[in-house]
Amino acid sequence: MSSPLRIGIIIGSTRPGRVGDQVANWVQTHASRLSDAQYEIVDLAEVNLPFLDEGIPASAGRYANAHTVAWAEKIDSFDGFIFVTPEYNHAPAATLLNAISFIYREWNDKAAALVSYGATANGGRAADMLRPILGEIQIADVRQQLAFSLIHDFEGFRTFTPGEQHLSSLQNLVEQLESWAGALREVRARKLEAAAAAA
């Protein structure tokens, strides 16, 4: 029997006073109830990557710095991702875009879902901007998305208090994500077998 899927929940903001950690914890708690997959929070504030400092493009896979190698190993361990993104100026946080750009192969042939939050558009514009970026690094993003309002889903814009209606959307998100993540794990396995046979 294959091992459980591993899904990384990436907190896309490192801003002091952020609320993304509350959203990520809620997602992890409820997603873990819904399946046997392992959901792990990856906090970019703890990863603490510098501004992109690799001299060679990530697609070459030749990482020079220890922090890049450690980040690559962490991402390589997952079958899929949930990106928890705020919306800053109609866009994702620069820290998230920076973290994505550090590596390449480790993202390939995996699945992702998007969870956003914001004031006027519930973070939807940031999520929309992320989708073509994920496609460029060969991540398949699923259709179901969660979008939380800083006005309606937070008390005083600070304390996360999502309505019960979000749970059914999360269930759909988890089902779609795990279906794609499982299928793409098989794709990666076949590619490895083909590479080994050709060696």
Q: Is residue 1 part of a domain?
A: no
pLDDT in tens, 137-189: 999 999 999 999 999 999 999 999 999 999 999 999 999 999 999 999 999 99
pLDDT in tens, 21-36: 999 999 999 999 999 9
pLDDT for the residue numbered 2: 80
**CATH classification of the domain holding 69:** 3.40.50.360
Average pLDDT (62-86) is 98
Q: Is residue 171 part of a domain?
A: yes
Q: Is residue 137 part of a domain?
A: yes
Q: What pLDDT band is residue 199 in, cutting at 50, 70 and 90?
A: confident
Q: Is residue 167 part of a domain?
A: yes
| Token digits of residue 118 | 């914001």
85 closest CA partner among 171, 10, 142: 10
Q: Are 141 and 114 in contact (CB under 8 A)?
A: yes
Helix 94-102 × helix 66-76 angle, to 10°: 90
| Average per-residue pLDDT for the chain | 96
Q: Is residue 27 part of a domain?
A: yes
Whether 1 shows a pLDDT value over 70: the answer reads no
Provide the domain limits for residue 122.
Answer: 6-198
Q: Whole-angstrom Cα distance, residue 122 to residue 199?
A: 49
Q: Whole-angstrom Cα distance, residue 107 to residue 61?
A: 12
Q: Is residue 65 part of a domain?
A: yes
Q: Whole-angstrom Cα distance, residue 146 to residue 94?
A: 21
Provide the number of structural domains found in the chain: 1
